[in-house]
Amino acid sequence: MRLKKVFVAVVCFFLFTKAGAQEFSMGIHFSPIATIPMMAKPPVTNYPALKARKYNINLSGGLNLNYRFNRLCIETGGNITTRSITFRMNLDEYSYNNLGSSSSISSYSDTRSSGYAIGIPLQIGYLLDKHDAKTVYDFYGLLGASYEMHTTMAYAYGSGVTSQTGSSITNNKNFYPGAGVKTNWINIIAGFKINAILRRVGLIEYGLRYHFPLSHAGQYHVETVVSNGVYGSVFTGDFFPRLSYMDLHLTYYFLNIEKGTGRKNTGTIKGNYLNLYK
């Protein structure tokens, strides 16, 4: 029901803004993103070497709708992003000695939780620079928000071990959340974009955007068992991550309509979007 209401609101916004915009563009985007977990609460662990990795590489794709009003532009649409967070347990000589051995160890154990999010963004851009020299482009600053609906997928394990004797790592013990857990939140978005015409390609747009969630994705509980065949220890941690991400946004616009002139081929627009190479 909530998704239906959001969809109806986006359709109404699309019709209203399209009627008043000087120029309307529709395109598709495909972008690499870096998921950067930011902890909403301090993690609770029984060993400080159990931490969330600083980032994971994921992907984003979807539909872009762009409206231009003089120096302002409004951007909306819809996208789907893959999102993941990895918890790594680094083992050093000290932890291995606690297991009853004086042999050195250098190893790690990874637990990776993946998921996907459906997002509906709304951003306002302001034209900061219009470059009309040899290279022509428009540079916009962006600020906005998005509503995201996140669903977890099955988690995965991996480990790497070197310089060890008689030791083993077991990952799959009491990890939460499992597959199918849903969480919703609102992101604040800030960044920039540059748009231009590439000869024989058409209207493109690229830029960088940071998405910061206002709430966390719930509790993530991780347990890793380390054993040398005689002694063993369980390392546990509870985390409350905000799944923020940096988006290298790449868009190709296949439709452009300018008020008073109708539809235009994006490769020949002479208005606000000009040839990148003269």
The residue-averaged pLDDT of 45-59 equals: 89
**DSSP for 34-89, written as a single string:** EEEEEESS--EESSTTEEE-S-EEEEEEEEEEEEEETTEEEEEEEEEEEEEEEEEE
Average pLDDT rounded to a whole number, residues 39-61: 90
Other beta carbons within 10 angstroms of residue 185's beta carbon come to 18
Span 31-53, average pLDDT: 90
Averaged over 39-44, what is the pLDDT?
Answer: 92
User: What pLDDT shows up at residue 257?
Assistant: 85
| Percentage with pLDDT > 90 across the chain | 45
217 three-state secondary structure: coil
For the segment 216-251, what is each residue's pLDDT rounded down to a tens digit?
999 999 887 766 556 566 778 999 999 999 999 999
Q: Give the pLDDT of residue 150.
A: 95
Choice between 133 and 258, residue whose per-residue pLDDT is larger? 258
This prediction has a pTM of: 0.80
pLDDT band, very low/low/confident/very high, at 133 (cuts 50, 70, 90): low
Looking at per-residue pLDDT, the higher value among 235 and 98 belongs to 235
Domain boundaries, the chain: 2-264
pLDDT for 260: 56
